[in-house]
Structure 1
Amino acid sequence: MFDGLFAFGHAIAGMLSPMTILYALGATLIGLVIGALPGLTATMGVALMTTLTLKMTPNEAILVLICTYIGAIYGGSRSAILLNIPGTPASAASCLDGHALAKQGLAGRAMGIATSGSVVGTWIGMLCLALFTPVLGEMALKFGAYEFFWLAVFGVVISGNLTGTDPLKGWIAGFLGLFIAAIGQEGMYAYDRFTFGIHDLSGGIGLIPALVGAFGFAEVLTVMKDPPRKYIINTFDRVIPRIRDVLQYWRTVIRSGLIGTFMGIVPGVGEDVAAWSSYAAARRASKEKEKFGKGSVEGLMAAETGDNACIPGAVIPVLTLAVPGSAPAAVLLAAMLIHGVRPGPLIMIENPGFVYDVVAMMLIASFGILFYGLTLTKLLVKILLVPRTLIMPLIFVLCAVGAFAIASRMFDVYVMLGFGVIGFLLRLFNYPVAPLVLGIVLGDILDKNLRRGLVLSDGDLTPFITRPISAVMLAAILFIILMNVPPFRRRFDAASAAVKLRLRQLFGRTA
């Protein structure tokens, strides 16, 4: 415990330089703006900022990306409260009571509640990140080639639930990403695969151009496809939150923070589910159920605490297993690999201090959203009035420059454009984009560890099934797949309902 506190203190001290604080405040502000603008997402923001951090040191780059991530999730509450339009999917639950409060002339109070809930939720998630990551990291040290193979398969299978409502579409996108990862020279004998005689494909598909295209340029195409909207911003009162609003609902805050963190740890759930789950739990436990949906301070506090607590929770499986808990976390995982940080079971051996660096980064980001949320709200909401005909061309230029700047190759720009079209088409037909990128990230891990495991076992597949951790992961994969097959799902729901009914009968008799 004391070693952890010492490492955390050392991480904080290392980030108190003026330049680091400037990076953090700037990135948080950019994330807040991205989150506040309807149509843009935290995933796109992290992907776009990845191209601007290539020349930074790894710690500075990850700090910028984490601040952008946290700022974007928090920024979505601005448009949710003022316009009844969630800036990000995570803020959808905040529309119910946040906009209701705004229509009552309490928009400032609502934004103050959202700010305090977001900050406290981030702190709760940070605490869990600091406590659980080392423990899970030690457990993950038992992983070998066989376990890493199943871990990659698990990541692709769970990616079906990252976004969207149809897991099958998510799996199709994930396996498409695995195929794309196989393009170029393979890792053991440098033999060209799926290059079709194109020399530029021998090095494979660049991760950054693919990221920027799939999330950045595709976002531009998606936003420009829809007709423009006219926004009417509600007037608002004081933004400074009342201490009573926070202390009165301290049980709701703690409950929502823990629920949000747990939802983040479960791969494939995400911040939007964390917000709705926290909101539903708060409503069930509340003594003021009739106020929910009509301007409940408790409901808004629960939603904002839950979605921000999910961010540190989603980073826990990223650091320990290299499996993201949400779509933005998937992009963050890719960015860590780009900057030379190797998340996964070995991180507590290769770079144990990095976990506490991440905790310190989130603490700095939380102070950033607190600062902007209390001082610049009235100025920042004017960004909502900026016409998208000005914003979208700027984003496209950043996408093109970011793709070209990696290796100064026009081919990377073409890759960015191609993946932008692919990402746009996937969204058009309701296929999630995040599994595609996750498949590209995990493809190399899956390929190398499958072949390494076969070499170790002389071509025998038995160790892939009989080793304890491999068997557990295989069972988990089969369970996830079966749970998304309608007949098995109906049987499972029926069995669960029968068990719940029996438990109620037993407890009723006992009482």
Structure 2
Amino acid sequence: MALQYLAQAFGAVLTPMNMGVLLLSTFAGLIMGMLPGLSATMAVALLTGLTYSLSSTSAIISLIGVYVGAISGGCQAAVLLNIPGTPASAATALDGFPLANRGKGGLAIFLATTSSCIGTLISVICVLTLTPLLTKVSLQFGSWEFFLLSLFGVIICGNLTSNGNAVKGWISGVIGLLVAQVGLDQLDAYPRFSYGNVNIMAGLALIPIMIGLFGFPEIIKAFKKTETHVLEFSPFKLKEGFGVLKNHIVELIRSSFIGVGVGIIPGVGEDVGGWLSYWASKSTSKHPETFGDGETAGVVSAEAGNNACIGGAIIPILSLAVPGSAPAAVLLAAFMMHGYRPGPLLMNESPEFLYQICVDLFLAALAMWLLAQVVSKFSVKILGVKKEILMPVIYVLCVVGSFVINHIMFDVKVMFVFGIIGFFLSAAEFPAAPFLLGVILGSMTDSNLRRALTISEGSFMPMLQRPISVIFLIVIVVLILSQFHVFDRLKKRKANG
């Protein structure tokens, strides 16, 4: 029966009409992912409204295509400009941009897009085989687990991006968590730090903050006259790229499964999947000091992890009707709009839908890879343009990208303010990535901590009585102590004792 459903799904997609829809939607996703400000969530949301007139099969194909394309497309801006096209690509910029500055922008983009493709393909297998099993694990996550998971993400990010000074990374992440508290809180809808301003009361939009933190410092640096030459490119061949991937096959597979696991947990998202995958590769590497300086394993891990989250995020949609990420939430609404009812009864009511989704993901990943290779031949030439010419254009794109979120000038002001903050963070060698992740996870941290304390009447004891929470606590404490070399001192005492 499964083979019959797979054959029907392939037959439905491989018609001229639906293949055209797939290619166009994936290409649109790539472009929207590349442009800072046009997130994967926005890409899926914009396309949802355009699918009313399409058949349900064509509509689902187009939505999956734009989702895969947008998550992967963000890596190109991250590599070429150090401005992540989407928050999911923030980890990719750490090593992708240094590679591009060494004339290996083509190689970096190839590694990123190929890893994205493979990560998505591995996630397809997981959607097919692990949907019933893994959703049981996600159901064990309560408010305490989500709170500790968000802290875990900020601490990991601070460790990875701080160049040996983890405290600076943690401070940056905590500031991001505090910024996320601005606006109406999610439990009582009480305005915090808004001072009567309606725009602030609505909260500070993520995309303008991201553009400001990453875009402005690069624009300002470009006018310091530190670079007086046009970048020379090293010739890049597919054989070289596949050779590098072959050397990182362990990181590729591990990151893909980490991404799937993160995607299954509702509300976490692709950005956390990228960071956790990056952390796993750095922490197990024989040369962790090379990460952040153009390490190819960093690019491979981050992109395999964030794209594998797509399949992971779809698993709880199909099984529980609970989205695993923000773009997946829009996708869930689109499924319902087109007559599907995701949830525990899906396999009884529409068993063919699972196989259709898997085939759509599989073909969208291949289409994304082919289109990305074509697009990169043109996009990589951006690095050859003098930055004094390029950066004013980037500034205009930053302004437009911030404005199109809500179509208000307030978001442009937010982008400018956080651009100045990003510049001073960069000057003081405080990493911007933990700040951004703190903003992303801030609402989850706040709402889950307050909900947990409300249920327990202010007691922290329930946190210590839940096995998953205890595991998170132990890992967090170990991560913090390791940065202060506590374990190294203990080893020396034992050796000397």
Shorter-chain TM-score: what band?
A: 0.5 to 0.7
Query: What amino acid is aligned across from residue 258 of structure 1 in structure 2?
Result: I
- CA distance in structure 1 between the aligned counterparts of 2:360 and 2:135, rounded to whole angstroms: 18
Deviation (angstroms), 1:340: 8.1
Deviation digits for residues 438-497 of structure 1, max 9, x if unmatched? 2222222222222222222233332122222222222222222222222335436998x9
- CA distance in structure 2 between the aligned counterparts of 1:399 and 1:112, rounded to whole angstroms: 22
Deviation (angstroms), 1:140: 1.6
- CA distance in structure 2 between the aligned counterparts of 1:72 and 1:428, rounded to whole angstroms: 25
Distance 1:68 1:147, change over 3 A: closer
Gaps of 5+ in 1: 35-44, 80-86, 282-298, 322-331, 342-346, 499-511
What is residue 409 of structure 2 aligned with on the other side? Answer: 410
Asked whether 1:213 is paired with 2:212, we answer yes
Q: Mapping of 1:333-344 within 5 angstroms?
A: none
Distance 1:250 1:148, change over 3 A: closer
What is residue 156 of structure 1 aligned with on the other side? Answer: 154
Matched position secondary structure for 1:161: helix
Deviation (angstroms), 1:136: 4.0
**Preserved contact between residue 23 and residue 367 of structure 2 (Cα < 8 Å):** no
Asked whether 1:257 is paired with 2:219, we answer no
Deviation digits for residues 256-279 of structure 1, max 9, x if unmatched? 532443676796455598499789
- CA distance in structure 1 between the aligned counterparts of 2:400 and 2:363, rounded to whole angstroms: 31
- CA distance in structure 1 between the aligned counterparts of 2:460 and 2:112, rounded to whole angstroms: 53
Matched position secondary structure for 1:430: coil
Deviation (angstroms), 1:192: 2.9
Deviation (angstroms), 1:73: 4.4
Query: What amino acid is aligned across from residue 143 of structure 1 in structure 2?
Result: F
Deviation (angstroms), 1:417: 0.8
**Preserved contact between residue 126 and residue 362 of structure 1 (Cα < 8 Å):** no
- CA distance in structure 2 between the aligned counterparts of 1:226 and 1:61, rounded to whole angstroms: 44
- CA distance in structure 1 between the aligned counterparts of 2:489 and 2:299, rounded to whole angstroms: 33
**Preserved contact between residue 153 and residue 276 of structure 2 (Cα < 8 Å):** no
Deviation (angstroms), 1:22: 1.6
Deviation (angstroms), 1:420: 1.4
Asked whether 1:455 is paired with 2:454, we answer yes
- CA distance in structure 1 between the aligned counterparts of 2:102 and 2:74, rounded to whole angstroms: 20
**Preserved contact between residue 119 and residue 253 of structure 2 (Cα < 8 Å):** no
Deviation (angstroms), 1:415: 0.8
Distance 1:420 1:77, change over 3 A: closer
- CA distance in structure 2 between the aligned counterparts of 1:207 and 1:276, rounded to whole angstroms: 29
**Preserved contact between residue 36 and residue 401 of structure 2 (Cα < 8 Å):** no
RMSD of aligned residue pairs (Cα, Å): 5.3
- CA distance in structure 1 between the aligned counterparts of 2:247 and 2:280, rounded to whole angstroms: 17
Deviation digits for residues 61-112 of structure 1, max 9, x if unmatched? 7854643543564798999xxxxxxx9544489799997xx9xxxx9xx899
Distance 1:477 1:315, change over 3 A: farther
- CA distance in structure 2 between the aligned counterparts of 1:223 and 1:96, rounded to whole angstroms: 13
What is residue 227 of structure 1 aligned with on the other side? Answer: 226
Query: What amino acid is aligned across from residue 24 of structure 1 in structure 2?
Result: T
Query: What amino acid is aligned across from residue 191 of structure 2 in structure 1?
Result: D
| Number of aligned residue pairs | 432
What is residue 40 of structure 1 aligned with on the other side? Answer: none
Report the TM-score when normalising by structure 2: 0.66
What is residue 464 of structure 1 aligned with on the other side? Answer: 463
Gaps of 5+ in 2: 50-59, 82-91, 263-271, 289-294, 317-323, 334-341, 348-352
- CA distance in structure 2 between the aligned counterparts of 1:348 and 1:226, rounded to whole angstroms: 57
Deviation (angstroms), 1:12: 8.8
Distance 1:384 1:490, change over 3 A: same
Asked whether 1:56 is paired with 2:56, we answer no
- CA distance in structure 2 between the aligned counterparts of 1:429 and 1:349, rounded to whole angstroms: 51
- CA distance in structure 2 between the aligned counterparts of 1:240 and 1:250, rounded to whole angstroms: 11
**Preserved contact between residue 263 and residue 310 of structure 1 (Cα < 8 Å):** yes
Asked whether 1:309 is paired with 2:304, we answer yes
What is residue 201 of structure 1 aligned with on the other side? Answer: 200
**Preserved contact between residue 173 and residue 436 of structure 2 (Cα < 8 Å):** yes
Deviation (angstroms), 1:391: 2.9
Deviation digits for residues 32-68 of structure 1, max 9, x if unmatched? xx6xxxxxxxxxx565555973633398678546435
Asked whether 1:25 is paired with 2:27, we answer yes
Distance 1:178 1:317, change over 3 A: farther
Q: Mapping of 1:177-188 within 5 angstroms?
A: 177-188=176-187
What is residue 268 of structure 2 aligned with on the other side? Answer: none
**Preserved contact between residue 145 and residue 468 of structure 2 (Cα < 8 Å):** yes
Query: What amino acid is aligned across from residue 226 of structure 2 in structure 1?
Result: P
Larger CA deviation: 126-135 vs 450-459:
126-135
Distance 1:262 1:205, change over 3 A: same
**Preserved contact between residue 274 and residue 307 of structure 1 (Cα < 8 Å):** no
- CA distance in structure 1 between the aligned counterparts of 2:110 and 2:439, rounded to whole angstroms: 39
Larger CA deviation: 116-125 vs 199-208:
116-125
Deviation (angstroms), 1:308: 4.8
- CA distance in structure 2 between the aligned counterparts of 1:425 and 1:64, rounded to whole angstroms: 36
Report the TM-score when normalising by structure 1: 0.64
Query: What amino acid is aligned across from residue 231 of structure 1 in structure 2?
Result: L
- CA distance in structure 2 between the aligned counterparts of 1:141 and 1:92, rounded to whole angstroms: 38
- CA distance in structure 2 between the aligned counterparts of 1:278 and 1:5, rounded to whole angstroms: 42
Deviation (angstroms), 1:119: 7.5
What is residue 419 of structure 1 aligned with on the other side? Answer: 418
- CA distance in structure 1 between the aligned counterparts of 2:326 and 2:492, rounded to whole angstroms: 36
- CA distance in structure 1 between the aligned counterparts of 2:493 and 2:311, rounded to whole angstroms: 33
Sequence identity percentage:
29
- CA distance in structure 2 between the aligned counterparts of 1:178 and 1:381, rounded to whole angstroms: 34
Query: What amino acid is aligned across from residue 25 of structure 1 in structure 2?
Result: F
Distance 1:169 1:428, change over 3 A: same
**Preserved contact between residue 28 and residue 71 of structure 1 (Cα < 8 Å):** yes
Larger CA deviation: 357-366 vs 434-443:
357-366
Deviation (angstroms), 1:418: 0.8
What is residue 364 of structure 1 aligned with on the other side? Answer: 364
Larger CA deviation: 70-79 vs 432-441:
70-79
Deviation digits for residues 280-306 of structure 1, max 9, x if unmatched? 79xxxxxxxxxxxxxxxxx98x88866
- CA distance in structure 2 between the aligned counterparts of 1:306 and 1:401, rounded to whole angstroms: 31
**Preserved contact between residue 112 and residue 300 of structure 2 (Cα < 8 Å):** no
- CA distance in structure 2 between the aligned counterparts of 1:98 and 1:407, rounded to whole angstroms: 37
- CA distance in structure 2 between the aligned counterparts of 1:52 and 1:173, rounded to whole angstroms: 27
- CA distance in structure 2 between the aligned counterparts of 1:193 and 1:4, rounded to whole angstroms: 55
**Preserved contact between residue 46 and residue 68 of structure 1 (Cα < 8 Å):** no
Deviation digits for residues 316-355 of structure 1, max 9, x if unmatched? 887789xxxxxxxxxx9666678888xxxxx987999899
Matched position secondary structure for 2:47: coil
